[in-house]
Chains A and B, each alone.
Chain A
Amino acid sequence: EAQVTQNPRYLITVTGKKLTVTCSQNMNHEYMSWYRQDPGLGLRQIYYSMNVEVTDKGDVPEGYKVSRKEKRNFPLILESPSPNQTSLYFCASSSWDQYSDTQYFGPGTRLTVL
């Protein structure tokens, strides 16, 4: 089954404790992206990756890091989480083809930083 998986689905942590949210897709997509969703603000793009070893900042990259060492994985790293990073996070992937560039979304990770 074609899918994007994220782990963990729920996480409660404390300020300053490094964490990683994993994202994996099994569709051989070149493009992957991370978003955060906050009430009334829609989804805001954090980082995206056009392919292996190619990443770029989205609209809200501060406080986050990413890496793309393999095509299928795109982990989101919070080196020193703060309470303003409490949010719902979505990973997405898509192909490069303009006729099939639909983004497929993971189920979301709800992060709470105390």
Chain B
Amino acid sequence: AQSVTQLDSHVSVSEGTPVLLRCNYSSSYSPSLFWYVQHPNKGLQLLLKYTSAATLVKGINGFEAEFKKSETSFHLTKPSAHMSDAAEYFCVVSPTNAGKSTFGDGTTLTVKP
């Protein structure tokens, strides 16, 4: 069994300030973890993924996430928010080698000028 909890449904930051989007997961096996981004009226795009290699994962557009097994967390961060980062973000857990994927409910990121 697996589940994902995104701890904040909405996050608002000012442009140029750090971003933190929180994700906790549970899984009965060693999972793969992903963050996807969805801009308004667009499809989903992969930001980054963890697949049991390095625990600090770097993604596109300056985003990073750290896998912490002891805390069952995979939080997404970015040092400095840009207006174009405004979107909805999804944390996803799935068994290694595909299978049943579980999405979090999403976090809407708002970036204020």
Contacts and interface: CB of A to CB of B under 8 A. Distances in A.
B46 A45 contact: no
Nearest to A35: B103
A102 B46 contact: yes
Contacts of B36: 105
Interface residues of A, number: 29
Contact of A43 (B46, B90, B94, B98): B90
A57 to B, nearest CB: 9
Interface residues of B, number: 25
Contacts of A56: 100
B99 A42 contact: no
Interface stretch (A17-25, A62-70, A74-82, A92-100): A92-100
Contacts of A42: 6, 90, 103-106
B14 to A, nearest CB: 25
Given A45-B103, A102-B34, 16 more contacts: A31-B98, A35-B103, A42-B103, A50-B98, A58-B100, A58-B101, A90-B43, A90-B44, A96-B97, A96-B98, A98-B32, A98-B51, A98-B96, A101-B32, A101-B49, A105-B44
Please name the 3 residue pairs, one residue from A and one from B, whose CB atoms are nearest each other, closest first.
A31-B98, A43-B103, A42-B105
